[in-house]
Structure 1
Amino acid sequence: MKRTHLPLNALRVFDAAARHLSFTRAADELAVTPAAVGQQIRALEDVLGVVLFRRTSKGLELTPEGEAGLDPLREGFLSFEESVAAMQAGQSSDRYTIAVPREFFAEWFAPRLARFQADTPKGSGGIQYILSADEHADFTEANLDLAIRLVDGPGELEGIPLAPAMRVTVAAPQHRDAWIDWPGAPLPDGTKPCVKAGSPGQALASALAGMGRTVLPLALAESAIDRGALEVLDGPEPALRGYWLLAPRPQWRSRKVRALVGFLTAA
């Protein structure tokens, strides 16, 4: 019989019925009806071409053919359990590999990650984070669990927004009357910036240093606004791009990814 044609569900029913020597008790264990157990056993007997049980005055008994296959079957189920445990070991581990922009990590993500770490039961070594500053790193090559990117949507990946897509014009309390630009910043037409930054993080640092005003994602600037390091000059207002937590679809089935995502979305 080809491996792909193995009647695994019927074999599971056979194992339960053989342990209990009762279709009724096997049905209770499997949360099905005794009739369903009987159907599975008859179907398995048809596939194998043997009789597995016989009814006697003392109750249900295994036939010699049934007994002959029982120990190897149980060894096989044990191997299945070991295989599943091995596959789950990496997914249930306390190690996360995350690609995240440096500035967003410092201003928004790190404080939440610290709370997640404090609220999560610690294993033998606690939670370990492996961080990549290249949020556009390839998931496979970098062996990423998750990435955080400033985008207008998840694209081909699966994702959730970490904060509403809002933008705000900000500057330090004592700042030059000039503009700080970065790729994607919606500055007024005709503006000649004093600083052309390469990222919103560099624009944030320039604004904090008092070099001028700039337009930033609210999620990035909010912490500095709250502590008085930046003042709001305009906004908040809706923006096209926001910070998204992204991963390929299979990653979202991971237990550890679901735990972190659940924490971030509930916080």
Structure 2
Amino acid sequence: MDIIQAVILAIIEGITEFLPISSTGHLIIGSSWMGIERQDFTKLFEVAIQLGAILAVVVLYWRRFFDRNRLNFYIKLIIAVIPALIVGYLFADRIDQLLESPVTVGATLLLGGIVLLFVDNWFKQPVVREEQQLDIFKALRIGFWQCIAMIPGVSRSAATIIGGMQQKLTRSFAAEFSFFLAVPTMVAATGYKLLKAWKTTPEILTDRHNLLLLVVGNAVAFVVAMIAIRTFITYLQKHGFRMFGYYRILVGIVILIMVWKGMLV
């Protein structure tokens, strides 16, 4: 992987991580298009640059993240992340296999897009508008929804936002809670991946070129994610999910055609 490829993947990560269009799916397609999808470092890089995107959430919502008087907020996040930690640990190898399948990505993007066309009509009467109204059991249910996103192409953001709306959260608050939940989830996923790489292929993490790419990738992902989060919240409040649904359907069809034509393997 060279510096330009790293920047391209970081831009993809920053744009797609918090949108309901699957960052993992787009990264798989991006790396496949550039011919670097099979490299061990690419697989690590695609996970590690999530830290940059996470930092964007922490910076944008720092007052709410570092409020010592909001113990219940942290408890809800911890409870909500538990299902993903358990499922991720138990099925890590199977998930890694799915991450290498463009067919899975194309199919789930397509099916998820169809769902997004109708989701605004399914949940029309939200009553939970702020964190104080979100109880522990609702947070846990949203955490179970997050587990669906371990299938590449589903989108962690889409799964948790829809899960939040199913629990009567408003669209904007469901999106915000999805952002908050991303922090412990991605920290755990990235930490696990880095630890695994250190044990199995430590030379990847000690190579100066790779370290430079990780620094650049996280910096680019951070800046782009800052812009994407603000834009997404504003758009979601005004327009809902339909446009994202059309986009997913289009991209899913294109990916499946490319696989059929042998352009993606």
Q: Same fold (TM over 0.5)?
A: no
More helix by share: 2
Q: Larger relative contact order (C-alpha < 8 A, sep ≥ 6)?
A: 2
Instruction: State the TM-score, normalized to the length of structure 2.
Output: 0.28
More strand by share: 1
Larger radius of gyration: 1
Q: TM-score, normalised by structure 1?
A: 0.27
